[in-house]
Amino acid sequence: MFDMFFPDRYVASTYVIDFEGLYEKGIKGLIFDIDNTLVPHGAPADERAIELFERLKRIGYRCCLISNNQEPRVRMFNEKIQVDYVYNAHKPSVKNYKKAMEIMETDTSNTLFVGDQLFTDIWGAKRAGISSILVKPIYPKEEIQIVLKRYLERVVLYFYLRKLKERKKG
């Protein structure tokens, strides 16, 4: 019932993902949400984010940010990391996931999306045919519409985690 919202993986943080291992498995393009995926909502790129993107570039990744925010927010975050980006993305619309892949010259077979929201980030990636990793939000203080979505996300995550347990048993 909730499968359309299930990520391929669920981890504690963007910063614990084994990007080297994913590259060896054929992932060449990474699409990231910004707020609460890489930094707290509205924050500029911090040292941890800057170091991550330097590392990703050294590995050989093409990276693109896609955000539902307007360009000033996305541009401000991107100043210190300097990757491609798509703003006002209207996630979960598929259009800008495809645009990000075009920019990176990747396709659904070698692209991965990383984000913190099931109903925008993960659902959009899934609809676009892209593998996805859901991360726990960095900072709990969020706008009211996101707080309301988080309650619904807990229900979906309950069924996702239950499904994972059943797979491990079987």
Q: Lowest-confidence range among 36-45, 89-98, 118-127, 150-159?
A: 150-159
The amino acid sitting at 28 is K
Buried b / exposed e over 75-113, threshold 16 CB at 10 Å, is: eebbeebebbbbbebebbebebbeebbebbebeeebbbb
Q: Please state whether the predicted TM-score (pTM) of the whole model is above 0.85.
A: yes
Mean pLDDT on 119-129: 96
Q: CA of 48: how far to CAs of 29, 54, 80, 91, in Å?
A: 20, 10, 11, 25
Q: How confident is the model at residue 142 (pLDDT cuts 50, 70, 90)?
A: low
Which tokens belong to 127? 């609809």
At residue 145, does pLDDT exceed 80?
A: no
High-pLDDT (> 90) share of the chain, %: 76
Tokens of 162: 């239950």
Closest alpha carbon to 86 in 66, 115, 63, 108: 66
Instruction: Give me the chain's average pLDDT, please.
Output: 92
Name the more confident of 137 and 60.
60
pLDDT (tens digit per residue) in 84-99: 999 999 999 999 999 9
Q: Write down the pLDDT at residue 141.
A: 65
Per the structure block, which two tokens stand in for 53? 């993107």
pLDDT digits (tens, 9 = 90+) for 24-75: 999 999 999 999 999 998 999 999 999 999 999 999 999 999 999 999 999 9
Q: What is the mean pLDDT of residues 14-21?
A: 98
